[in-house]
Amino acid sequence: MKCLVTGATGFVGRELCKQLSLAGHEVLAYSRTGEDLENGTPTRAVDFRNATLDAQQLAGVELVFHLAGIAHQQAAAEDYESVNHVATLNLARQAEAAGVRCFVFLSSVKAMGEGSAGAIVRSESDSVRPLDHYGLSKWMAETALNDEFCRRTMAVCVLRPALVYGTAAKGNLASLAKAVSRGLPRPPEAGGRSMIAVEDLCALMLHISWQCEAGVRTYIVSDGEQYSLRRIYDAMRRVQGLGPGRAWCPRWMWRVACSLLDWLRPRNAPRWETLFGYELYSNEQLLRATSWRPQRSLENTLSPEAGHP
């Protein structure tokens, strides 16, 4: 089967291309710069800020996996809008015109906006309009896809993954792993978040592209576990062979340190809430609708054999 993947050289894209190839599918891989995949396979360059695909590039394609987007970086509001929203809708329109059977859009739980405080597990309907540029652009893309394709024949599947982890993860998980290796004290037990292994997320994309029916379906993707900062810390200590960490830093000192960092390096979200707050999402709708089941947890992904982020 001929599959087209955008964002192919990203953290999720590399794993998806690998799984598609192992399953025997023909993969047309696109990235912003056209760099090679890990196995040396070249990708085709397309920058969705100022370009798009044409009918010839989509000819014969049955499945489109749209992963390209602006995420873990500070960008102008118009860039988030043009890449995450406008380019997504344009590509879906082109895919439909080319006869694509299923269009899978990798959105984010950030498209659901900010939830209420506390350990509330959110479902797909527990959404509010996001305030940040990234979440808003994903929400606008989801809204546009629903409005235009809800009664069309092309299947559109919108996936909202929670925080994605894996052995080559970047961003906050990579920063935490580095801090753990440098002696970060064991954090207090507080808060919790939903997560999903990159391998499970990509396996779901393959699985759901076969099952997705005409119209638009939206699913939260998580492994069903709840991860506190302490649980993540303990898993990283084990894989680094460091043994149990010492919780010598009291909770009030963590609060003071977070406040100091917020003052020195302001961010959208307070660091205490980022580290010790709750961000929990339910995967029940996905489990009811499909036979996919997560096979991994953070602990068995960050095994000594697998390495660590």
pLDDT of residue 83: 94
Question: Residue 264 above 80 pLDDT?
Answer: yes
Q: Is residue 42 part of a domain?
A: yes
Asked whether residue 179 is domain-assigned, the answer is no
Longest dimension (CA), the chain: 61
Strand 44-45 to strand 26-31: parallel, antiparallel, or no bridges (unpaired)?
Answer: parallel
DSSP state of 23: T
What secondary structure letter does DSSP report for 130? -
Query: CA–CA separation, 37 vs 89, rounded Å?
Result: 26
113 located within any domain? yes
Mean pLDDT value of segment 173-182: 90
Q: Quick check: 266 pLDDT over 60?
A: yes
Distance of CA 142 to the CA centre of its chain: 15
Give the per-residue pLDDT at 207.
94
**Count of structural domains, the chain:** 1
Neighbouring CB atoms inside 10 A of 99's CB total 13
**pLDDT tens digits for 191-225?**
999 999 999 999 999 999 887 888 999 999 999 99
Please give the pLDDT value at position 34.
87
With pLDDT > 90 as the criterion, what percentage of the chain qualifies?
72
pLDDT at 279: 94
Assigned domain for 170 exists: no
Instruction: Output the pLDDT for position 308.
Output: 43
pLDDT of residue 119: 80
pLDDT of residue 309 exceeding 50, the answer is: no
pLDDT tens per residue across span 2-59: 999 999 999 999 999 999 999 999 999 999 988 888 888 889 999 998 888 988 999 9
pLDDT in tens, 54-90: 889 999 999 999 999 998 667 888 889 999 999 999 9
Q: pTM for this one?
A: 0.92
Identify the domain containing residue 211 by its residue range. 2-165+194-222+280-288
pLDDT in tens, 90-141: 999 999 999 999 999 999 999 999 877 778 999 999 999 998 999 999 999 9
Output the pLDDT for position 72: 62
Question: Which of the pair, 39 or 1, is modelled with greater confidence?
Answer: 1
Please answer whether residues 211 and 275 qualify as being in contact, where contact means their C-beta atoms are separated by less than 8 angstroms: no
Residue 274 included in any domain: no
Q: Do residues 245 and 182 lie in contact, with contact meaning Cβ atoms separated by under 8 Å? A: no
Decide if 116 is inside a domain. yes
Query: Looking at the domain assignment, is residue 78 inside a domain?
Result: yes
188 Cβ neighbours under 8 A, 6+ residues apart: 230, 247, 250, 251, 254, 276
Q: Write the CATH number for 156.
A: 3.40.50.720
Whether residue 294 is contained in a domain is answered as no
The DSSP letter of residue 227 is: B
CB 239 within 8 A of CB 303: yes
Q: CB within 8 A of 266, min separation 6: which ones?
A: none
Written as one letter, the residue type at 127 is S
